[in-house]
Amino acid sequence: MSAHGDPLPMTSQACGPLTGTAEVPGDKSISHRSLILGAMAVGETTITGLLEGQDVLDTARAMRAFGAEVTDLGGGKWSVHGVGVGGFAEPENVIDCGNSGTGVRLIMGAMATSPIVATFTGDASLNGRPMARVTDPLALFGCQAIGRTGGRLPMTLVGAVEPVPVRYVVPVPSAQVKSAVLLAGLNAPGQTVVIEAEATRDHTERMLAGFGAEITVAETDDGREITLTGQPELKPQHIEVPRDPSSAAFPVCAALIVPGSDVLVPGIGLNPTRAGLFTTLREMGADLSYENERVEGGEPVADLRARFSPDLKGIAVPPERAASMIDEYPVLSVVAAFARGHTEMRGVKELRVKESDRIDAMAKGLRANGIEVEEGPDWWVVAGRGHGNVAGGATCASQLDHRIAMSFLILGMASQSPVQVDDAGPIATSFPIFEPLMQALGAQISRSKG
């Protein structure tokens, strides 16, 4: 089943060169944070380039339920009239975050230190994902959570009436957990400290500073130590959301494996905590260049140019790079299938608790399409077959996971036989224009019968 309707089977098949410009949508992580921080500021925040994918629209709806005025002004422009830190109203109804782990976890953090009660739910994928990683640290502030067995949604949070600040060492590399604690710390008096052993995406820290919060980051022997002074008055901002590197990954990887391709993907955010895939692809021999490098809205940005790369080779991806490309392993495994030699991906346990178990979902689909994959609890290895040697021909389960669906459609663009996904509906959560964008480059994607 798709997240929001009937299953939408889709097929892709080998095509001529992919050429042209791919204008991918706004960054999903920054879009969620723009709406949530805008709702916690006093006054009107304006946002351009907001990702209008279902995940972000669900967060917009949630912010309205907590009392913010969120308006779609058209053309990717939005305005948020915030209610201030500690100003959230109690929602009248259950908050449905759809497919979005980022949405629900950040919103839980944002409401956890207000004296209100909220109940959260999501789709079958989200309701299967672990929430204790967020509710455990939120309990330290004084917030109570009652959910299903195993810390699953649906779940009710009773916000702390008298929140206390927290010092928390994040036990898993997760920007969502780090961000939930920081957002909760906003309405606790005194200093909240978060320590992460491995650096994860730092949009929350950057944006909190932009909204006027007092926040410092120190590199220590234990990792990055982030200190936030609670109860600031956040000042409304104008935010220009950069285009999403995690969405750019799909046309970039397609161009690398489809013979003759030459694709420009302009204006991509290249924050070092997000850009690990592009470094990895270059190490594999990808013809991938950064053009027109610049800084926009405090984030490094460049135009990516990807061309067909006939000599891709498998590599061992350094495990310490995992956090900076965590969402990109599925599509990397597709490129790895067209490389010569093995691509080893280790230190990636977190892939098992995403929208799906992404190691399992990709391994099953790749094997069905003639590619050997070995896997363990926190690693997997793809045996590359080289260009022209990937069989294809199978139907793959997208498991309510947008990135799994898109990855298999990219696979089909360069395999011998077409590849079908059972449900491409979830793509709308993060990349609603994926189908027309890829078709405009020359891809042969079609809606198929189930």
Which segment (143-151, 168-176, 308-316, 416-424) binds ligand S3P by CB under 6 A?
Answer: 168-176
175, 253, 254, 301: residue in contact with ligand S3P (rule CB under 6 A) = 175
Which residue number, 102 or 309, has a Cβ lying nearer to ligand S3P?
102
Q: Residues 327, 328, 401, 422: which binds ligand S3P (CB under 6 A)?
A: 327
Q: What residues from 287 to 316 belong to the interface with ligand S3P (CB under 6 A)?
A: none
Q: Which is nearer to ligand S3P, 201 or 224 (CB)?
A: 201
| Shortest separation between residue 319's beta carbon and ligand S3P, angstroms | 15
Q: Which of 12, 135, 179, 271 binds ligand S3P (CB under 6 A)?
A: 179
Q: Is 358 in the site for ligand S3P (CB under 6 A)?
A: no
Which residues are identified as catalytic? 327
**Interface with ligand S3P (CB under 6 A), residue from 12, 102, 356, 369:** 102
Question: Of 9 and 122, which CB lies nearer to ligand S3P in the complex structure?
Answer: 122
The stretch among 14-22, 148-156, 174-182, 412-420 that binds ligand S3P (CB under 6 A) is: 174-182
**Binding segment for ligand S3P among 107-115, 171-179, 390-398, 433-441 (CB under 6 A)?**
171-179
Smallest separation, CB 55 to ligand S3P (Å): 9
Minimum CB–partner distance for residue 245 and ligand S3P (Å): 11
Give the Cα-Cα-Cα angle 76, 18, 332 (nearest 5 degrees): 80
Tell me if 29 contacts ligand S3P by CB under 6 A: yes
176 binds ligand S3P, rule: CB under 6 A? yes
User: Closest distance between ligand S3P and the C-beta of residue 357, in Å?
Assistant: 13
- Choose which of 225, 240, 350, 378 interacts with ligand S3P (CB under 6 A): 350
Q: Is there binding between residue 31 and ligand S3P (CB under 6 A)?
A: no
In contact, 20 and 444? CB cutoff 8 Å:
no
User: In the chain, how long is the greatest CA-to-CA distance?
Assistant: 63
Q: Which stretch binds ligand S3P (CB under 6 A): 11-19, 172-180, 212-220, 390-398?
A: 172-180
Task: Say whether residue 174 binds ligand S3P (CB under 6 A).
Answer: yes
Nearest-Å Rg of the Cα atoms of the chain is 21
- Of 15 and 112, CB closest to ligand S3P: 112
With CB under 6 A as the contact rule, the residue among 326, 381, 406, 428 that binds ligand S3P is 326
Residue 99 Cβ vs ligand S3P, minimum distance, rounded to whole Å: 11
Q: What tokens appear for 78 in the block?
A: 């939005």
Shortest Å distance, C-beta 32 to ligand S3P: 6
The residue among 13 and 102 lying less far from ligand S3P, judged by its C-beta, is: 102
- Give the nearest distance from C-beta 340 to ligand S3P in angstroms: 29
The answer to the question of residue 277 lying near ligand S3P (CB under 6 A) is no
Q: Site for ligand S3P (CB under 6 A): which residue of 13, 111, 201, 359?
A: 201
Q: What is the 3-state secondary structure (H, E, C) of the chain?
A: CECCECCCCEEEECCCCCEEECCCCECHHHHHHHHHHHHHEEEEEEEECCCCCHHHHHHHHHHHHCCCEEEEEECCEEEEEEECCCCCCCCCCCEECCCCHHHHHHHHHHHCCCCCEEEEECCCCHHHCCCHHHHHHHHHHCCEEEEECCCEEEEEEECCCCCCCCEEEECCCCHHHHHHHHHHHCCCCCEEEEEECCCCCCHHHHHHHHCCCCEEEEEECCEEEEEEECCCCECCCEEECCECHHHHHHHHHHHHHCCCCEEEEEEEECCCCCCHHHHHHHHCCCEEEEEEEEEECCEEEEEEEEECCCCCECCEECHHHHHHHHHHHHHHHHHHHCCEEEEEEECCHHHHHCCCCHHHHHHHHHHHCCCCEEEECCEEEEEEECCCCCCECCEECCCCCHHHHHHHHHHHCCCCECEEECCCHHHHHCCCCHHHHHHHHCCEEEECCC
The least distance separating ligand S3P from the CB of residue 372, rounded to whole angstroms, comes to 26
| Residue among 15, 409, 35, 402 at smallest CA distance from 246 | 402
The whole-angstrom separation of Cα 139 and Cα 112 is 9
Residue 244 near ligand S3P by CB under 6 A: no
Binding site for ligand S3P (CB under 6 A): 29, 102, 174-176, 179, 201, 326-327, 350
